Amino acid sequence: AFLPFVDINDDVIDLGGFKYRAIIECTSVNYDLKTEAEKNIIESSFRNFLNTLQYPISFYIQTKELNYAKILETLAEDVEQTKIDCPALENYSKIYYEEISHLKETIQNSKQKKKYIIIPYEDTVEMNELSPKEKEEYSKKELHARVSMIVENLSTMGIKGTRLDTRDLIELMYSIYHRDDDAVVENIVDGDYLETIVSGLTLAQKQDALQKAISILQETESKLRFGVINDKN
């Protein structure tokens, strides 16, 4: 009831009222390392990309803390599997794990920056001759076409665009409203909600969790009011 969308399914965010959003995650291009000729090509391609757009889009950049605990947990599982599959690599895998476990101190950076393009589709709102189901199906079809076109145009600049699927969209939306601590996002996505509750919290921790929840709701209300996701750019 407090979030600015009705549902997330079929790789689409449903804002209600036949308004939909798809999101593309984009890779980066190191512009400063390009030659002047390459820079000119990138700039020209970007101008052409913008000129071909017949609808608004939004650019969203998110910076958040890396979940090193989850990274190491996954790596530990891989190391154990490596011991089984390739016993000769056991020593090497242990050394690799030790190096990665100190990566945060080595690079002195715990931030992760990701870039997204938010693509809207609202054209069926006024198509009264269509049934609600037809509006939904038509909207998702047209939204898919828009995504394909943008991904193709991004490739001309050396940028790889990947459409977020339903799971990725849920993770992104959760991290937007809980950016500093999204360690439990997999429990939310997988539906294991009790995993975020039954954890032996102390009274102080529970109170802190309540304050976080209140803060999330307040931030969500603010974002809804100013239309961060329901873009107008």
| pLDDT tens, residue order, the chain (233 aa) | 677 889 999 999 999 999 999 999 999 888 899 999 999 999 999 999 999 899 999 999 988 777 677 778 888 888 888 888 888 888 888 888 888 887 777 766 667 789 999 999 999 988 999 999 999 999 999 999 999 999 999 998 889 999 999 989 988 888 877 765 555 556 555 655 444 444 444 444 445 555 666 666 666 666 665 554 454 44
DSSP string, 5-20: -SEEETTEEEEETTEE
- CA 28 – CA 48 distance, rounded (Å): 18
Residues in the chain: 233
pLDDT at 206: 45
Sequence-ordered strand ranges (E) for the chain: 7-9, 12-16, 19-26, 58-65, 111-121, 161-163
User: Which candidate, 16, 161, 12, 96, places its Cα nearest to that of 4?
Assistant: 16
Q: Is the pTM of this model over 0.85?
A: no
**Cβ(159)–Cβ(181) under 8 Å?**
no
**Cβ(93)–Cβ(79) under 8 Å?**
yes
**3-class secondary-structure state, position 232:** coil
- Dig out the tokens for 101 from the structure: 């476990």
**3-class secondary-structure state, position 184:** coil
pLDDT at 126: 87
Buried b (16+ CB within 10 A) or exposed e, 147-183: beebbebbeebbbebebbeeebbbbbbbbbebeeebe
pLDDT at 202: 45
